[in-house]
Amino acid sequence: MKFSQFDYKRPSIEVIRLQFEELIDDFNKADTVRRQEEIILKINSIRIEFESMMNIAFIRYSINTADVNNEKEQDYFDEISPEYRELVSKFYQSLDASPHKSGLIKRFGSQLFDVARSVVKTISPNIVNDLKKENHLSNRYMKLKASAKINFNNSDLSLPELEPFMESQDREIRHGAFNAYWGFFASKADELDNIFDNLVKLRTNMAKVLGYENFIGLGYARMRRIDYDAEMVDKFRQKIKKYVVPVITKLRQRQAKRIGLDNLKVYDLFLMFKSGNANPKGNPEWIVAQGEKMYKELSPQTGEFFDFMTNNELMDLYSRKGKADMGYCEYIPKYQSPFIFANMNKTDDDITVLTHEAGHAFQSYMSRHFELKEYTEPTMESAEIHSMSMEFITWKWMDYFFGKDSEKFRFSHLSNALSFLPYGVLVDDFQHWVYANPDASPSERKSKWREMEKEYMPHLDYDGNEFLESGGRWQKQGHIYEMPFYYIDYALAQICALQFRSKIETNFDQTLNDYIKLCKAGGSKPFLQLVELAGLKSPFDDNVIESCVEASEKWLDEIDDSKF
């Protein structure tokens, strides 16, 4: 069934509440494991229907944020989803309190109960209205970015449409495009500050109502972080600072020499090679056709998966005005269908986004056999292993997209993968500071960001751009607004993906088998157990970051980038 044929019907929260309450009451009264198992599956069916409708509504809205009907449906779910979450939490409370828990664990596994205990800590009837406000503020931010119409090169461009100009070989064009891009954020600075200030206050209030000291603990519980904590994450950040930041400084010096500059300004960072970046040789339809060849050759499983995606029109890839400025994969459980959303703009990012989101989608496809929602959907840091690793697993097929520039692409891709790590942990460190200091003013937040930025990314030279010099760059990062503490996930997963990259060099077939095994496991285990299942070392292990950086740097040093 094609996405356009998916049945959409707005669910009634009143009907769902009655169904849930009746089933939870039956669950609490059930005197056998078998009866409780039956009720769990009935509740799961209701959840699959509701969340499928919610995901379809979100996909339609992000495809066209200017459509009034799409906006109405999204607003509806913004209003009712907190009430729905409260019902799920009540179910989880009963689940955890079941006298038949040992039998249920034998049937469904312990991860369901670990997830339940985490989720229960995130909601109560006293914060439902605040959750609704939080949803509306997050979507206000998304719509604000999607509304961008930036006049450049005699055209009104969206943010993704402007990005290719920032990779121009002409420095004046790069500089102009960069200033136009950030000029949009500068022009919306007050509104962006207002949205975020309200979000911080709401989240802090909800945390205190739930008994937390601040939002950090609540944020971790929301992300269902079961087997690691903030202290472990802090040590991880320090290791990135120690082992990765110096390497990035050297890579930027190497880049400056490569493109013929004495030093790099921030608007030069996007141009990796004097001859121009490696860009795909065709439009999105051509890219999909090349992707089909690639995935059929990669494995029978990936070939079957990609056929499913293309035959059922489960990808929206073009950048358009009014389309949300984001890339994602959403899973629609009723139809056991992933959906890939991207904004292709004729840069190499088109291929990394395709392979990244295809990694998410492939995992969803491979773990669609699980009965329970909790097991088809892993926690975010686990999910990002699938996506970031797929970027490297497909490396040897890059000539399909880049032709003679495929080695150029691989060099820039690995360079950028390393360069991301300091930024990834910076975003996380900043969020910890924000929620530990919720009364800070907007200007204090920006000052703190700039202070941290100099520590994690000392190579940055903003060339006097007032908005960025004042610490405004973080306002582009949607995760900070829309999904707090969802960013360290990328850095943790990148360390796992870099291990996959190294393993590919020695035994591709075994590495692919380990990757597929990981995807099949879905969310049936917590993060560190999934890492172990895939034959990887934990990102928190003492030497793993240092060894990943050494292996990556060795590969990069063996490439004569002057030939590019």
Asked if residue 228 has pLDDT above 90, the reply is: yes
Please report, as a single letter, which amino acid is at residue 444.
E
In whole angstroms, give the CA distance from residue 530 to residue 340: 24
Instruction: Tokens for 217, please give them.
Output: 């603990």
H-type alpha helices, 64-100: 68-96
Cα(143)–Cα(543) distance, rounded to whole angstroms?
Answer: 43
Report the 3 state secondary structure along 25-63.
Answer: HHHHHCCCHHHHHHHHHHHHHHHHHHHHHHHHHHHHHHH
Mean pLDDT within 529-542? 97
Quick one: pLDDT band at residue 170, thresholds 50, 70, 90? very high
- pLDDT tens, residue by residue, 84-134: 999 999 999 999 999 999 999 999 999 999 999 999 999 999 999 999 999
pTM for this structure? 0.95
Burial class (CB in 10 A: 0-12, 13-18, 19+), 553: middle
The answer to whether 148 and 310 are in contact (CB under 8 A) is: no
Continuous segment of H or E residues that includes residue 306: helix 300-311
Among positive and negative, which fits the CA dihedral 59, 63, 68, 71? positive
Furthest C-alpha separation in the chain = 76
Asked if residue 227 lies in contact with residue 526, where contact means CB atoms within 8 angstroms, the answer is: yes
Over residues 260-306, the pLDDT tens digits come to 999 999 999 999 999 999 999 999 999 999 999 999 999 999 999 99
What is the share, in percent, of the chain residues with pLDDT greater than 70? 100
pLDDT value at position 198?
98
Q: Give 233-259 pLDDT, tens digit per residue.
A: 999 999 999 999 999 999 999 999 999
Burial class of residue 476 (count of CB atoms within 10 Å of its CB; 0-12, 13-18, 19+): middle
Contacts 24+ apart (CB under 8 A), 403-412: 403/281, 405/278, 405/279, 406/278, 407/559, 407/564, 408/272, 408/273, 408/277, 408/278, 408/564, 409/278, 409/348, 409/351, 411/272, 411/556, 411/559, 411/561, 411/564, 412/272, 412/273, 412/277, 412/278, 412/348
Helix axes 442-456, 189-209, angle to 10 degrees: 90
Residue recorded with tokens 């998304």: 142
Categorize the per-residue pLDDT at 509 as very low, low, confident or very high, splitting at 50, 70 and 90.
very high
d(CA 49, CA 203): 29
Nearest to 456 by CA among 437, 443, 473, 434: 473
List, in order, residues 6 or more apart from 553 with CB less than 8 Å away. Answer: 247, 418
d(CA 351, CA 416): 14
Q: Say what the pLDDT of residue 319 is.
A: 87
How much is the pLDDT for 412?
97
Task: Please give the Cα distance from 195 to 442 (Å, whole number).
Answer: 11
- Tell me the pLDDT of the chain averaged across its residues: 96
Instruction: Give the integer Cα–Cα distance in Å for 464 and 462.
Output: 5
* Contact by Cβ (8 Å): 166, 160: no
Q: Residue 320: what pLDDT?
A: 87
87, 20 contact by CB (below 8 A): yes
> Based on the number of CB atoms within 10 Å of its own CB, is 44 exposed (0-12), middle (13-18) or buried (19 or more)?
middle
Residue 321 has a pLDDT of 85
> Does residue 401 have a pLDDT over 90?
yes
